[in-house]
Amino acid sequence: MAMPEDDIFSPNATRSRPPFGGTQARGKVIDQDGRELSDAAPFPPFEGFQFDFRNSTTNPFGNLTREQRLERLEMIAKLLDVAFIVPGTNVRYGIDGLIGLIPVVGDIITTAISLWLVREARLLGAPWHITARMLANVAVDGVVGMVPVAGDAFDVMFRANVRNVRMLRRWLDKQPRL
């Protein structure tokens, strides 16, 4: 059944949609049990519902002390760079080296995690010169890590995340305690 050309060029008023922002006629809203819902509050139990991530019961990382945050960063850096040992040698590697074996995507993922560590350092109050050096380490690790075989070996040996956390730790140790 073909549509007449009149309907194509001058659509029927009941089928046309109002322009953006216009109101459109709407029928009754029926829930799954067949009850009609009012237009005023379609979801009354959720009207005042909101998330509060500042509370420690909802966000386990919300109220960490400076030392706890630094320990968390050190654990992540060790997991990324030195978590495992090549059997029969003293060569240590982490999941950064393993994920980096996936071409391009693996290096992007590990670089994103490393950038998150730099962001956390900035939130701990690290000055611009420390974060700039940390970003330089991440950039070198990310760019050289993109090279297929040599980049993976470089990832294992360079350990940018451990360097960054060590640099942050040294800077924080020089700061007066509050």
pLDDT tens for the chain, 178 residues long, are 555 555 555 555 555 555 555 555 567 777 777 787 766 555 556 666 666 655 555 555 567 788 889 999 999 999 999 999 999 999 999 999 899 889 889 999 999 999 999 999 999 999 999 999 999 999 999 999 999 889 989 988 999 999 999 999 999 999 887 6
Partners of 37 in the beta sheet? 29
Spatial CA neighbour of 117 closest among 104, 129, 105, 130: 130
Amino acid identity at 176:
P
Cα 95 to Cα 120: distance, rounded to the nearest angstrom: 20
SS3 135: helix
E strands in the chain: 29-30, 36-37, 84-85, 92-93
Beta-carbon contacts of residue 37 (< 8 Å; ≥ 6 apart): 28, 29, 30, 31
Task: Retrieve residue 17's tokens.
Answer: 């949609």
